[in-house]
Amino acid sequence: MLKTINSYLKENDVDAWIIYDYKSSNPAFKELFGNKFLTRKCYVILYKNKKNKILCHEVDKLSFSDVDLKKYEIQTYTNWENMVLKLSLLLNKNDKVLMEISENGLLPNISFIDYGTVMLIKSMVKEIKTSADLFQIVTAKLSKESIVLHKQAAKILEIIKNNAFDYIFFKTKENQCVTEYEVQQFILQQFKIYNLITVEPPIVAISQNAANPHYVPSINSSSYIKKNELFIIDLWGKFKLEKSVYADISWVGYNGNKVDFEYEKIFKILSDAVEITLEFLRQELPKREVSGYEVDDICRDFVKKNGFGDYFIHRTGHNLSKGLNVHGVGVNIDNFETHDSRKIVDSIAFSIEPGIYIPNKLGIRKEINVLIKNREPIVTTSMQTHIIENKFL
């Protein structure tokens, strides 16, 4: 990893990457050193042309007893004045450095440093730039093991999704209807059976409720999925393993045997938007660097051209990387909520999930997962081709 970082610094004419950490809060720090028990501020300075340095408090020094001293020199400080002095000696007024900052506040999921610390470093160097792309390389690129676990989770989600649709359709045949909450709880039971975990319960929503993209039913607030009702199921899960990565899918169903033309029209627009987005990646990635915001533009422009731009109210997709949350720390497919200028590189994964949400009427979303391999987009989840009808009616 250090060789990769050093090559990046040289290629981009940057003198150092300063990884600031407080109480193991920076994912880049954890990726390099694991989960360490740190109680005070720590600075890791990875140089382009010098031996790397770790500046930590004296009481935290033992936490670095396992560090390779051929790769790092460890220095300690005692009080804050001592920390500032030693930090200033490790930096140069002519240095250009990288840190986990969000330039213009437009990339909040790269922002891991408080304002005061940024100002302190700024007083000691020539220029601070965002480490966004390098941060992604270190924290969000998936290992072979993580990719395998992601694909396995995707296969299990497909089974659970199919079981959930059958549960809805059988329940309707027997009882005329079933609640969103019942289906949600059924899915969570399936997660236990198949050894998947999730930090948040899945979304099960009839058309009007789905108009809010983050609607989640609860025991006290849930609607019936009746006959001839449109609904969506959005579920995400992973294994309870350190290197596991979420799979995350959304599917649309109709609790009847003849889907309304308006629903079919909107689903077709979203399906075409996904295909056009994938084709853009297939065409452009082999030729050049592509940023997340560009991909969002392609998908969003297609939805706009078909008259539903005002109803596409979230980014096109989010990163999938290691961690407790389904939303990873790598590049998002986004030029709407943020301007994600990070590059789409090999071994990262993300969702493509355009949606159309008409207030108080309906919400439809289509979601797949994509892995980049050899500068090609590989779809790792199943692809819905039509709205699923109740075959038992």
**How far, in Å, CA of 255 to CA of 191, rounded?**
23
- Going 274 to 280 to 285 to 289, the CA torsion angle's sign is negative
**How far, in Å, CA of 200 to CA of 215, rounded?**
12
Residue the block writes with tokens 């989840």: 381
Question: Residue 357: helix, strand or coil by DSSP?
Answer: strand
Q: Buried b / exposed e across 68-107, counting CB within 10 Å, b at 16+? A: eeeebeebbbeeeeebeebbeebbeeebbbbbbbbeeebb
pLDDT confidence of residue 325: 83
**How far, in Å, CA of 37 to CA of 59, rounded?**
11
pLDDT confidence of residue 42: 96
Q: Copy the structure tokens of residue 106.
A: 């437009």
pLDDT confidence of residue 91: 96
Decide: 335 and 296 in contact? Cβ < 8 Å.
yes
Q: What's the pTM value of the predicted model, to 2 decimals?
A: 0.92
**How far, in Å, CA of 192 to CA of 19, rounded?**
38
CATH topology of domain 144-389: Creatine Amidinohydrolase (3.90.230)
Q: Where do the CATH 3.90.230.10 domains begin and end in the chain?
A: 144-389
pLDDT confidence of residue 1: 86
Report the chain (393 residues): mean pLDDT per 10 consecutive residues: 92 96 91 90 95 96 93 96 96 96 88 94 96 95 96 98 96 88 98 96 96 94 94 97 95 94 97 98 97 98 98 97 87 96 97 97 97 98 96 80
Q: Where do the CATH 3.40.350.10 domains begin and end in the chain?
A: 2-139
- The alpha carbon of 116 is separated from its chain's Cα centroid by a whole number of angstroms, namely 28
**If one looks up domain 2-139 in CATH, what number appears?**
3.40.350.10
**Of residues 121, 178, 146, 134, the one with CA closest to residue 26:** 134
